[in-house]
Structure 1
């Protein structure tokens, strides 16, 4: 860590997602942050019969993932206080003086109680309070975080519209993409062993399969089109077995690493975003939208606000809701595959994606963070006069 020793610049990220879960916004941004400062990605605690301690490992080049191990037998408030003590010890031991607190989950805000961050950022990537099994304390905790935060980022424009009146400095940052990674799908990668035996055409989805996934839509599509193979990659979360679509042409291949995704995409004919339209999806901005397009696969999505605008309005993604309309959109995508229109659509998609990258997103965020630091400094100076 010698290259940080002059400034002691550091960032502590409180996340509700484990680093090794689906690779998305938090991981991309923290890898960017770690290029110029020490980054500690704090996961939710593990509870058991052990003394309180932090387990720290390095991932993604230089991000340090910190997992609190907390002794069982305490209520939630006491467990969070014990985690807070561990983080305070870490900050003291590592001399984290110029500290940015980066928060994904308001529920974990109490674990930062003993820290004295120079800047607090709330990266609101989802409306977590709308998700299945969300704790009732989440909304009041978020209000507390709004009062404490110097800066709020949102994971999309629809979410920005909902949050912009709750804080004076809220900025939208929709999902970005690592284009070169997904463009590997266009380079003729080998078909993965668990996918290779499946027939064509293949219509694929990767991501978390939970209450945001339109199970009824996939069930109906699979029934109507037994000649299509549906490939579903990702963990099943919060859904009972009885809720999952089941048919001979629906294939659950499990969770895949970020590195593996291009090989699966390379052998899909259509990439799907079959999101249910409910409370949990009202504010989402799917990371997979630009990822699918960067892979060069035609995309069909249900009517999600941050997919319709800009991707649907620019005719980069086909939008449909009802099963018959969604089927027709998939048929159109399949029919276009070897036509000039397909190359023209992909060229427009590539032109749009040219302006997107996680490094660019982080650079714009850093500019706003520096402005926020300036505002705090000016306030402090005015108070001292």
Structure 2
């Protein structure tokens, strides 16, 4: 690379613990943008199938965006899985015959089968504290420590996560959740809800996101019981928890996962948006993407005291913070009583002015180019 004119490598291989067709979030926003300029390959975690020959399913989604899904035989032990994944990765690298790679890690566990390669640039986008999630592999902490030693540049998904990681790397940068502002702004203009939601009458409170160990089941149950006239809309897949463990009632509506393109239409029918996360290890460092998305949709928001919601959203009076069902009810009733939200919306729009995935993408590229420049300068000295 000419250190006077640095450029990014032309090929990017992203190791992701989240499937491309799961909830549309940080990896999808960023990788779809990188695919405008680079050849982007997303390697998902394996699917285990009975009586199958191990292979890599290749799904070309766009001219420069390809999803790679390993299919492994069910019943493999961990050592067999690592060996097989390494073999599939080697075959892929040989078949593509490409050089000049960026390796982009969302899951440190991928190091177990990829650490024998030396990429031109290694990026660790640490979007969550994965070791705090239920069913996290016991090797995850060690793998993350290794990745923090070998990565050229590290990004974190929020300020609280950055605080605990910043001493572990000398080139680490915070990039909190961003928004596709134009997309969620549609909720302010559209006048038609989807039929399944339009048929529900009354005050509508809503949540969009994965329903898992982070979701405060008791909080939602208590709000639903204390305010039966309020309708609670829950949009998102149920993961790692049983549907039987979730509260039910005539004013609780589980819609499951909905297409990303349809979300503004659902949001347009809500009166208040909720962030009902439990305060536990799995939420200690999260920076919910839904916070700026709700605000871009023009919705008042009530959240539990998540650190990256309190600062900056709570401190700036953009989001109401509540610790229990009674506080949620008070905050919701107060928000519902406001007739003129013009000044609040102006404040929201001013805050969100530079908060976009496009800006995040461009700023990340600058950090990556700077890293390559500094590395090449060091090698040339």
* Aligned residue in 2 for 1:345: 344
**Would the alpha carbon gap of residues 34 and 200 (structure 1) be closer, same or farther in structure 2, given more than 3 Å must change?**
same
**Would the alpha carbon gap of residues 60 and 279 (structure 1) be closer, same or farther in structure 2, given more than 3 Å must change?**
farther
* Aligned residue in 2 for 1:380: 379
Work out whether 1:177 is the aligned partner of 2:172: no
SS at match of 1:121: strand
SS at match of 1:194: helix
1:47-58 aligned at under 5 Å gives the runs 47-48=48-49, 49-58=51-60
- Determine if contact 2:83/2:113 at 8 Å carries over to the other structure: yes
Residues in 1 aligned to 2:90 and 2:182: alpha-carbon distance in whole angstroms: 39
TM-score norm. by structure 2 comes to 0.94
1:75-224 aligned at under 5 Å gives the runs 75-224=77-226
- Determine if contact 2:47/2:71 at 8 Å carries over to the other structure: yes
1:190-339 aligned at under 5 Å gives the runs 190-336=192-338, 339=339
SS at match of 2:197: coil
1:22-101 aligned at under 5 Å gives the runs 22-48=23-49, 49-59=51-61, 62-101=64-103
- Determine if contact 1:88/1:114 at 8 Å carries over to the other structure: no
SS at match of 2:149: helix
Kindly state the Cα deviation for residue 281 of structure 1 after the two structures are TM-superposed: 0.5
Residues in 1 aligned to 2:90 and 2:362: alpha-carbon distance in whole angstroms: 28
Q: Deviations 1:66-111 (Å, cap 9, x if unpaired)?
A: 1112234532233222222222332232232110000011112222
Residues in 1 aligned to 2:75 and 2:202: alpha-carbon distance in whole angstroms: 53
Of residues 129-138 and 20-29 in structure 1, the stretch that sits farther from structure 2 once superposed is 129-138
Kindly state the Cα deviation for residue 351 of structure 1 after the two structures are TM-superposed: 1.1
- Determine if contact 2:188/2:298 at 8 Å carries over to the other structure: yes
Which stretches in structure 2 are left out of the alignment for 5+ residues?
A: 1-6
Q: Highest relative contact order (Cα 8 Å, sep 6+), 1 or 2?
A: 2
Residues in 1 aligned to 2:176 and 2:249: alpha-carbon distance in whole angstroms: 35
Q: Deviations 1:133-161 (Å, cap 9, x if unpaired)?
A: 21211101111111111111000000000
* Aligned residue in 2 for 1:16: 17
Q: Deviations 1:315-344 (Å, cap 9, x if unpaired)?
A: 1111111211111111111111xx22x111
- Determine if contact 1:282/1:305 at 8 Å carries over to the other structure: yes
- Determine if contact 1:87/1:115 at 8 Å carries over to the other structure: no
TM-score norm. by structure 1 comes to 0.93
SS at match of 1:180: helix
Kindly state the Cα deviation for residue 47 of structure 1 after the two structures are TM-superposed: 2.3
Kindly state the Cα deviation for residue 60 of structure 1 after the two structures are TM-superposed: 6.2
Number of positions where the alignment pairs a residue of Structure 1 with one of Structure 2: 374
Residues in 2 aligned to 1:31 and 1:187: alpha-carbon distance in whole angstroms: 26
Q: Deviations 1:324-380 (Å, cap 9, x if unpaired)?
A: 1111111111111xx22x111111111111111111101111111111112322333
